Amino acid sequence: PKYLYTEIIGLQNFSSGAFIGLILLIPALVTFLLDLSKKDNEAMGFNSKKIIIGRNLIRDILVGMGCIIIIGFVVMVLCSFAVMTFIKSYPYDLSFSMEHIQYVMNQGMGQYFANSLLIAFLVSLIGTAIGYTTAYVTARTQSPVVGKALHLISIASLAIPGIVLGLGYLICFRGSFLSGTILILVFVNVIHFFASPYMMAYNALKKLNPNYE
Q: What is the pLDDT of residues 96-121, one digit of tens each?
A: 888 888 888 888 888 888 999 999 99
Rounded Cα distance between 159 and 73, Å, is: 27
Q: Return the higher-pLDDT residue of 139 and 157.
A: 139
Per mean pLDDT, which range of 38-52, 95-109, 147-161, 188-202 is the poorest? 38-52
pLDDT(180) > 60: yes
Is residue 152 within 8 Å of residue 138, measured between CB atoms? no
**pLDDT greater than 50 at residue 89:** yes
Give the mean model confidence (pLDDT) for residues 34-59. 70
Residue 39's pLDDT band, with cuts at 50, 70 and 90, is low
Beta bridge partners of 93: 89
Over range 2-14, report the average pLDDT. Answer: 65
pLDDT for the residue 43:
47
Pairwise CA distance, residues 71 & 5, whole Å: 30
Give me the pLDDT at residue 155, please: 80
Q: pLDDT at residue 40 above 50?
A: yes
Provide the mean pLDDT of the chain. Answer: 81
The C-alpha atoms of residue 68 and residue 84 are separated, in whole angstroms, by 24
